[in-house]
Amino acid sequence: MLSSKTALVTGSSSGIGQAIAEELGNQGADVTVNYRSNEAGATSTRDAIINSGQDAIAVQADISDWTDASELVARTRGELGDIDVLVNNAGIFPRHSWTEMERPDWDRVLDVNLGGLFNMSKLVVPEMVGRGDGAVINLSSTWALQGGLDNAAYTASKGGIVAVTRQMCHEFAANGIRVNAISPGAIKTAMNETLREDQEYIERVVESVPAERFGTPEDIGHVAAFLASDRAAYIHGQNIVVDGGLTA
């Protein structure tokens, strides 16, 4: 499905990003695995992709830093080739209520979750426009649609991702660039592992999901691989909600 494609997945050393990177590899893409601090996870992801028969590299970079982001893109182009698929997945999720949150907390979340998307897209999309082809997939969240407790900055950043996805669609669809978002619901990842130690939390979430289970990172990886492929050629500017029916 993605034969001869090169993909760059930010924040792909664990969780949803890891599952997306590995599934893109399974579908025939060469992949750059990006990480900020989890080198072991990135190496594991890279090795899994190589074992599937594709080329892969692991590159450390803080995508909220322009210099780091530039070096990440340059290494991908130098070692794997032109970037056909950009997945803006990297993000942080500190929990702060409105009363607890300070301005630096707010700024850091938006700088990573939205600022990182800006950096990567500014660096990659012009090349796609020049070729007249490419796919950008931005990871949002169902919390952008319904909010949540103690996550004001995170919710704001994810809502911004949905909005900027639609804006990018307006600007780049005519150039052959597909820009879409994915909004996962309750997915089992390291990010919510501590919460899932609370049995009452698990029961409350499962009761609210018509599918009666948490999703898996692989559930998101399958959707991302489809959106990255030519099979999604007429899908532009959409926010694909993958939540087991939660927001229904």
Give pLDDT tens digits for 127-142.
Answer: 999 999 999 999 999 9
Residue 49 lies in a domain: yes
Q: What is the pLDDT of residue 96?
A: 83
Confidence (pTM):
0.96
Per annotation, catalytic residue among 35, 154, 201, 234: 154
Do residues 32 and 76 lie in contact, with contact meaning Cβ atoms separated by under 8 Å? yes
Q: Give helix 115-131 / helix 66-79 axis angle, nearest 10°.
A: 40
Mean pLDDT throughout 95-116? 93
Distance CA(64)–CA(68), nearest Å, equals 8
Q: Which three-class secondary structure state does DSSP give residue 142?
A: coil
The beta strand positions in 99-237, using DSSP E, are 134-139, 177-184
- Whether 154 is catalytic is yes
Q: Which three-class secondary structure state does DSSP give residue 240?
A: strand
Q: What is the pLDDT of residue 200?
A: 77
Residue 66 lies in a domain: yes
Which position has the token pair 């998307």?
117
Distance CA(76)–CA(83), nearest Å, equals 7
Residue 248 lies in a domain: no
Give pLDDT tens digits for 7-66.
Answer: 999 999 999 999 999 999 999 999 999 999 999 999 999 999 999 999 999 999 999 999
Residue 121 lies in a domain: yes
Give pLDDT tens digits for 200-231.
Answer: 777 888 899 999 999 999 999 999 999 999 99
Distance CA(45)–CA(82), nearest Å, equals 21
How many separate domains does the chain show? Answer: 1
Residue 135 lies in a domain: yes
Assigned token pair, 171: 């600007």
Residue 247 lies in a domain: no
Residue 1 lies in a domain: no
Structural domain harbouring 69: 6-242
CATH of residue 93's domain is 3.40.50.720
Q: What is the pLDDT of residue 194?
A: 65
